[in-house]
A and B are shown apart, each in its own frame.
Chain A
Amino acid sequence: MALQENKSSLEVIPRNEEKIKKIWKTALILLVLTSIEFFFAFTLPRGILLYLIFVGLTIWKAKYIMMDFMHLGEEAKPLFYSIVVPLIFLVWLVIALMREGADIFLLRW
């Protein structure tokens, strides 16, 4: 116990209000983007344009979460790229499976 008492109490660094303000600003941006999605969901007709807006806003939100909340941008460049570059495979997956689904549609209906 005595050992633990000796080692306790790290030095507490005071709050950096600037940093905390930035976190809340990001939160506000995320909420505004979500509200815009809601707004479009009820005002625009369903179709390719609406879906593209949704996907665009979603990727924009994802960027804020990964860069500002998960601090991926502050990591070393090799780490950053080893996380982001493999996601390029998803582009192929989306194209391949959407094609496949569209062809199943033609066969089935």
Chain B
Amino acid sequence: MSTTATAVGLSPKRGIWGGGNEPLKASYGKLMMWFFLLSDIFTFAAFLVAYAAIRVSYPGYAGPDDVFVGSNEYWPVPEMVFDAIPFFHGVHIPLAFVGLMTFILIMSSVTMVLAVEAGHRNDKKDVVKWLLWTLLGGITFLSCQAWEWSHFIHGTDGGSMLTYVNRMGQVVTETVYGANLFVNEYGPAAFAQLFFFITGFHGFHVTIGVFLLFLAFYQAAVGVYERRGHYEMVEKIGLYWHFVDLVWVFVFTFFYLI
């Protein structure tokens, strides 16, 4: 902990950056987590800006929303692509499912702050309780994403009639169902590629977050942090988890709304 580890006073000769001080007043682990997150912000930003650049390089769908047909000639309208929710097969309910996912992730971020707050108070019972809620939120989000991916890959009942270059290099015109990295029924190939890479990279982060949360939950429950004397690990994992939520806020806007 920063307060106990620093016995060296501020030397007037060496100044604040002269060594032996902690000018940033944060532990090594927390600092490195922040700088890791900064680099991760750049990675995700590169993905999202690439999405924007590729999207403006295609014409957008110009007709009315309710008669939207998928085509690789123009960029699709997200609310016509992401309009399915489990147990309502074929019903057009735009963006409801992704809204639910956003709600789940924001709530799991809230329970994470509550866990960090309980950690500051050394309240083991509260830490364990809130970490468990966060863990549940994370697992629920991942399950939703698995369903979303599965639906996206398998596609709708009707599919779309497309002319495209297939894997053998031939130009074919046929009905395409669902999506893969070569062709998809919703829009240009880049649309599904970006969907897989952006939401996949985010989902990968959530998966790692769930592992870390489980670690924190387990260690808090068996009293590792209590013996250590502080709950800083909960705080560091909390930073990571909030970052995952932060990225989703951007993915949600740029992929599902715009």
List A residues at the B interface (Cβ < 8 Å). Answer: 4, 7-16, 19-20, 23-24, 26-27, 30-31, 34, 37-38, 41-42, 46, 51, 54-55, 57-58, 61-62, 65-66, 68-70, 75-76, 78-79, 82-83, 86-87, 89-90, 93-94, 97-98, 100-102, 104-105, 108-109
Residue of A23, A61, A79, A82 touching B110 (CB-CB under 8 A): A23
Asked if A69 contacts B49 (CB within 8 A), the reply is: no
Q: Looking at chain A's contact residues, is the secondary structure mostly helix, strand, loop, or mixed?
A: helix
Name which of A10, A70, A102 has the most chain B CB atoms within 10 A of its CB: A70
Interface residue B117 (Cβ < 8 Å from any Cβ of A): yes
Residues of B within 8 A of A13 (CB): 120-123
The smallest C-beta distance from B144 to any residue of chain A, in angstroms, reads 16
Q: Number of B residues contacting the other chain (C-beta, 8 Å)?
A: 60
Please report the C-alpha to C-alpha distance between residue A73 and residue B102 in the assembled complex, in whole angstroms: 25
Residues of B within 8 A of A34 (CB): 99, 102-103, 106, 252
Asked if A93 contacts B249 (CB within 8 A), the reply is: no
The tally of CB-CB contacts under 8 A between chains A and B is 143
Q: A54-B257, A65-B249 are in contact. Are A101 and B227 (CB under 8 A)?
A: no
The smallest C-beta distance from B17 to any residue of chain A, in angstroms, reads 9
The 3 A-B residue pairs whose C-beta atoms are closest, nearest first, are: A101-B53, A97-B53, A104-B57
Asked if A69 contacts B109 (CB within 8 A), the reply is: yes
Q: Looking at chain B's contact residues, is the secondary structure mostly helix, strand, loop, or mixed?
A: helix
| CB-CB nearest in chain A for B126 | A15
Please report the C-alpha to C-alpha distance between residue A15 and residue B103 in the assembled complex, in whole angstroms: 26
Asked if A75 contacts B25 (CB within 8 A), the reply is: yes
Asked if A97 contacts B117 (CB within 8 A), the reply is: no
Within B219-235, which residues are at the interface with A (CB < 8 Å)? 223, 226-227, 229
Interface residue B56 (Cβ < 8 Å from any Cβ of A): yes
Interface residue B216 (Cβ < 8 Å from any Cβ of A): no
Asked if B106 contacts A30 (CB within 8 A), the reply is: yes
Interface residue B161 (Cβ < 8 Å from any Cβ of A): no
Interface residue B41 (Cβ < 8 Å from any Cβ of A): yes
| CB-CB nearest in chain B for A15 | B121
14 A-B pairs whose Cβ atoms sit less than 8 Å apart in the complex: A20-B117, A30-B106, A34-B99, A37-B253, A46-B60, A54-B257, A62-B250, A69-B112, A70-B238, A83-B38, A90-B45, A97-B52, A102-B56, A105-B58
Residue of A11, A70, A94 touching B52 (CB-CB under 8 A): A94
The smallest C-beta distance from B129 to any residue of chain A, in angstroms, reads 12
When each residue 119-148 of chain B gets 1 if its CB lies under 8 Å from chain A and 0 otherwise, what string results? 011111010000000000000000000000
Please report the C-alpha to C-alpha distance between residue A105 and residue B37 in the assembled complex, in whole angstroms: 33
Residues of B within 8 A of A62 (CB): 246, 249-250
When each residue 82-119 of chain B gets 1 if its CB lies under 8 Å from chain A and 0 otherwise, what string results? 00000000000011000100110011011011100100
Asked if A109 contacts B59 (CB within 8 A), the reply is: yes
Please report the C-alpha to C-alpha distance between residue A57 and residue B252 in the assembled complex, in whole angstroms: 12
Interface residue B23 (Cβ < 8 Å from any Cβ of A): yes
Q: A58-B250, A94-B49, A101-B57 are in contact. Are A19 and B117 (CB under 8 A)?
A: yes
Q: A41-B79, A58-B250 are in contact. Are A105 and B59 (CB under 8 A)?
A: yes
Residues of A within 8 A of B49 (CB): 90, 93-94, 97-98
Asked if A7 contacts B56 (CB within 8 A), the reply is: no
The smallest C-beta distance from A58 to any residue of chain B, in angstroms, reads 4
Residue of A10, A20, A65, A98 touching B56 (CB-CB under 8 A): A98
